[in-house]
């Protein structure tokens, strides 16, 4: 079930590529614009208020307000009231939002290698540089993507 399907009882059309269902296209429908991932980054870093998120992303305020509303509706963020009058809200990652943190780490790793001259930050775990990768669930070995095969689970093709 997609995040949107969990929030909306009406069935959704799964995005397709060349007529085939595509989970990547479906995910990009939800978080595929520039501002969404930067918003998720800021909330993950502990910036929960609108002004904090605006400063961290440099998003235009109207666009930020619209994307926050969309991410809440999609189930990626949760909104809680922290002030009644005037109304003020804090934004927090839902389970679906927390599942995007490794995606941000992979983008950061790629950006450090290919998009910037000098990496602006280093991600560390127990004082060691963090490198994102995959391990096989069955054997625990690091995955060499040249050895990965695709297996269709649904649909034809």
For 115-149, how does the pLDDT look when each residue is reduced to its tens digit (9 = 90+)? Answer: 999 988 888 889 988 888 888 899 989 898 899 89
Q: CATH number of the domain at 3-147, please?
A: 1.10.10.10
Alpha-carbon separation of residue 156 from 21, 100, 108, 139, 152 (angstroms): 10, 29, 35, 30, 8
- Quick one: which H or E segment has residue 81? strand 77-83
Q: How many CA atoms lie within 13 A of 121 on its CB side?
A: 6
For 79-114, how does the pLDDT look when each residue is reduced to its tens digit (9 = 90+)? Answer: 999 999 999 999 999 999 999 999 999 999 999 999
Please state the domain extents for the chain.
3-147
């Amino acid at each position: 079930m997609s995040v949107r399907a969990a929030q909306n009882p009406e069935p959704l059309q799964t995005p397709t590529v060349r007529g085939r269902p595509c989970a990547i296209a479906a995910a990009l429908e939800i978080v595929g614009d520039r501002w969404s991932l930067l918003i998720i980054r800021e909330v993950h870093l502990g910036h929960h208020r609108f002004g904090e998120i605006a400063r961290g992303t440099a998003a235009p305020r109207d666009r930020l307000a619209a994307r926050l509303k969309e991410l809440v509706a999609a189930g990626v963020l949760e909104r809680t009231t922290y002030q009644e009058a005037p109304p003020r809200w804090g934004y927090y990652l839902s389970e679906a939002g927390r599942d995007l943190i490794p995606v941000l780490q992979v983008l950061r790793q790629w950006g450090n290698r290919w998009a910037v001259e000098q990496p602006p930050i280093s991600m560390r775990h127990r004082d060691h540089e963090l490198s994102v990768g995959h391990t096989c669930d069955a054997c625990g070995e690091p995955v060499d993507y040249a050895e990965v095969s695709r297996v269709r689970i649904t649909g034809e093709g």
